[in-house]
Structure 1
Amino acid sequence: MINPGYVLTMARYNAWQNKQLMVAMEGLSDAALRADRGAFFGSILATANHLLWGDQMWMARFQGTELPAGGIAQSTTLHPTFATWSAARFRMDGRILLWAERVTALDLVGDLSWYSGFMKQDVTRPKGALIVHMFNHQTHHRGQIHAMLTAAGVKAPVSDLFFMPEDGPWL
């Protein structure tokens, strides 16, 4: 389904996109970041927090480390300010990149099992598909943030993969 090159390319894309979103978001006031804009999670900051929490959850599962606190309902308030969110986002993007640099073809086969607090049951799915899901989840919520930034009058960043700087591996 996927290979290590795909994982590294998507990890680079994730970090590049998040860096651009941070620049766009830092020009907004706290009130503008928290304003309910009709998105699934309401505000720009709430959506950014949920996305960060999701990445923390998936990386904990992939790496066998401690899960982040709370569930989906608490994910939107993970970090109360842009400053704390952006610092945590930067660290998470570095963690994802370091992980992606070490992923081997063998890491992408087999199943991953966990208990889903949302579904209230044990779940088992193919690892490769779950990794694709993590990157798809990121893109989905960054798209929501992009739309909210545009609606707030901020020039949202370019998001096309082929515009990503070529300072690293591609597929």
Structure 2
Amino acid sequence: MTLQDHFRTLARYHVWATHRLLDEHVALLPEADYRRDCGLFFNSVHGTLNHLLVGEGLLWQRRFLEGVSPAGLELDDEAEPDRARLAQRLKQSARAWQPYVERLSEADFDRPFRYATSKGEPMSAPFAATLAHVFNHATHHRGQITAALTAMGHASPVLDLIYMLRDEATASSKP
């Protein structure tokens, strides 16, 4: 498997896991549980989802897809107070990675990735590892949300990558 193939898989997984979490579980949460401080780093399910939008959609996507490093954003900023719009924006953000990854060449993964922090400090890190961070970061916070759902007594989704691969294999074997 090439790095490009690996990142294509991660981009597909990111969409699959985001949709599964939001559509099948978070959408069913009562408002009080959705906004309840349940001890997550960003307090609530809503706070954690907002953090994902800020980190992924407003910072890393702009850095990767547009070559722009936004300044002044804080990781706990509330980018979208409305939960339905927040879910839509997160799903849109997840989908945006797929065409980007498709355009990358194998050589792109070996180069440095240069950007500026939200405080304007210049940074350079390995491209592949930095892109992996984006997908890993989302997986980390989805895991926190699933733990919070369980702790609140709600059903929690199975989001393991292997289940997406099984879903894909089943779908491709159907006539």
> Shorter chain as normaliser: what TM range?
0.7 to 0.9
**1:64 positional shift:** 2.5
Aligned residues of 2:37 and 2:44 also touching (Cα < 8 A): yes
CA distance in 2, matches of 1:155, 1:65: 39
Identity %: 32
* CA drift at 1:121: 2.3
| 1:101 has 2:102 as partner | yes
Q: For residue 106 of structure 1, what is the amino acid of its counterpart? A: A
Could you tell me which residue of structure 2 aligns to residue 114 of structure 1? 115
1:141 is matched with which residue?
141
Residue of structure 1 in register with 2:62 after alignment: 60
1:72 aligned to 54, 58, 75, which one?
Answer: 75
Q: Normalising by structure 2, what TM-score?
A: 0.85
Q: Which deviations, in whole Å up to 9, do the C-alpha atoms of 1:30-82 show, x marking residues without a partner?
A: 221111001111000110111122112112111225556722131xx111121
Conserved? CA contact 2:69–2:116, under 8 Å: no
Counterpart of 2:25 in 1: which secondary structure?
A: helix
C-alpha distance in 2 between matches for 1:114 and 1:100: 18
Q: Distance in 2 between matches of 1:149 and 1:116?
A: 32
- Cα RMSD (Å): 2.1
Q: How many equivalent pairs are there?
A: 165
Moved over 4 A (4+): 65-69
Distance 1:153 1:66 in 2: 41
Look up the match of 1:47: 48
- Over 3 Å counting, the alpha-carbon distance change for 1:129 and 1:61 in structure 2 is same
| Whole-Å separation in 2 of the counterparts to 1:121 and 1:14 | 28
Structure 1 residue 109 displacement after superposition:
1.8
The letter of the residue matching 1:61 is: R
Is the CA contact 1:30–1:81 (under 8 Å) kept in the aligned structure 2?
no
Tell me the amino acid that sits aligned with residue 20 of structure 1: R
Unaligned residue ranges in structure 1 (runs of 5+): none
Where 2:29 maps in the other structure, the secondary structure is coil
Greater relative contact order (Cα < 8 A, sep 6+): 1
Cα distance in 2 for partners of 1:58, 1:150 equals 29
Distance in 1 between the 2:156 and 2:76 partners? 27
| Greater helix share, structure number | 2
Q: TM-score, normalised by structure 1?
A: 0.87
Unaligned runs of 5+ in 2: none
